[in-house]
Amino acid sequence: MQSYATPKSTMPPLPPRDALRLRHMLEAATKAVAYTHAHDRAVLDSDEMRALAVVRLLEIVGEAARAVTDSTRAQFPDVPWRQIEQIDRALTNQS
């Protein structure tokens, strides 16, 4: 009989707060993509509600990313942490 056990991960468990932040990042980014998929820039320029929603979702991604600990960031080296923070700073007018 074949076993379908889930393989053990070599990644250490994430702190619960970081896991929650990563989930918030994923959910907000997924919504932002859905709100902009198959639309060009003109749609965002003419649909203020959609544009404001996308900006807020990107702010959520940035806020959550800033709060992720360095140890968790190190476990996800493919995430462009610096670029996310730069976008967040630009959206929230932080220096």
Q: What is the pLDDT of residues 35-78, one digit of tens each?
A: 999 988 999 899 999 999 999 999 999 999 999 999 999 999 99
SS3 16: helix
pLDDT at residue 1 greater than cutoff 70: no
Q: How far, in Å, CA of 53 to CA of 30, rounded?
A: 12
C-alpha closest to that of 59 among 18, 17, 31: 31
Report the chain's C-alpha Rg in angstroms: 17
Taken in order 70, 72, 75, 76, the sign of the CA dihedral is: negative
Q: Specify the amino acid at residue 77.
A: P
Sequence-ordered strand ranges (E) for the chain: none
